[in-house]
Amino acid sequence: MVACTRVTILGSTGSIGQNTLDVIARHPDRFAVHTLTAHSRMDLLARQAFEAKAIAVAVPSPTAAERFKTAWGDQANRPEIRIGAQALVEVAADPASQAVMAAIVGSAGLPAALAAAQAGKRVLLANKEALVAAGSIFMATVRDHGAELLPIDSEHNAIFQCLPHHDRASAPTGPAAGVRRLILTASGGPFRNQRWKDLAHVTPEQACAHPNWSMGRKISVDSATMLNKGLEVIEAHHLFAMPAERISVVIHPQSVVHSMVEYEDGSVLAQLGQPDMRTPIAYGLGFPERISSGVGMLDLALAGRLDFAQPDMAQLPCLALSFQALKAGQGACIALNAANEVAVAAFLERRLAYTEIARVIETTLAWQAGQPDTTLSSLDDIIALDERSREAARRAATV
Q: What is the dihedral of CA 101, 104, 106, 111, to 10 degrees?
A: -70
State the average pLDDT over residues 146-164: 95
Q: Which of 349, 338, 393 is nearest to 367 (CA)?
A: 393
Question: Which band of pLDDT confidence, cut at 50, 70 and 90, is reported for residue 391?
Answer: very high
Average pLDDT, the chain: 94
Question: Which band of pLDDT confidence, cut at 50, 70 and 90, is reported for residue 2?
Answer: low
Q: Residue 210: pLDDT above 80?
A: no
11-51 pLDDT, tens digit each: 999 999 999 999 999 999 999 999 999 999 999 999 999 99
Q: Tell me where in the chain the CATH 3.40.50.720 domain(s) lie.
A: 5-162
342-389 pLDDT, tens digit each: 999 999 999 999 999 999 999 999 999 999 887 898 989 999 999 999
Q: Residue 148: pLDDT above 90?
A: yes
Question: Which band of pLDDT confidence, cut at 50, 70 and 90, is reported for residue 308?
Answer: very high
Question: Which band of pLDDT confidence, cut at 50, 70 and 90, is reported for residue 127?
Answer: confident
Number of neighbouring beta carbons within 10 Å of residue 272: 16
State the average pLDDT over residues 248-252: 96
Q: Give the global pTM.
A: 0.92
The predicted pLDDT at position 166 comes to 66
Q: Residue 190: pLDDT above 80?
A: yes
d(CA 102, CA 261): 25
Question: Using an 8 Å Cβ cutoff, are 185 and 252 in contact?
Answer: yes
Q: Which of 9, 42, 222 is nearest to 109 (CA)?
A: 9
Q: Which CATH superfamily is domain 5-162 in?
A: NAD(P)-binding Rossmann-like Domain (3.40.50.720)
State the average pLDDT over residues 303-323: 94
Q: Tell me where in the chain the CATH 1.10.1740.10 domain(s) lie.
A: 179-274+310-397
Q: Which of 396, 385, 345, 373 is nearest to 133 (CA)?
A: 385
| DSSP strands (E only) in the chain | 5-10, 31-37, 56-59, 80-83, 99-102, 122-125, 148-151, 179-186, 247-251, 257-263, 268-272
Question: What single letter denotes the amino acid at residue 109?
Answer: G
Question: Which band of pLDDT confidence, cut at 50, 70 and 90, is reported for residue 303?
Answer: confident
179-274+310-397 carries CATH number 1.10.1740.10: yes
Sheet holding 268-272, edge to edge: 247-251, 179-186, 257-263, 268-272
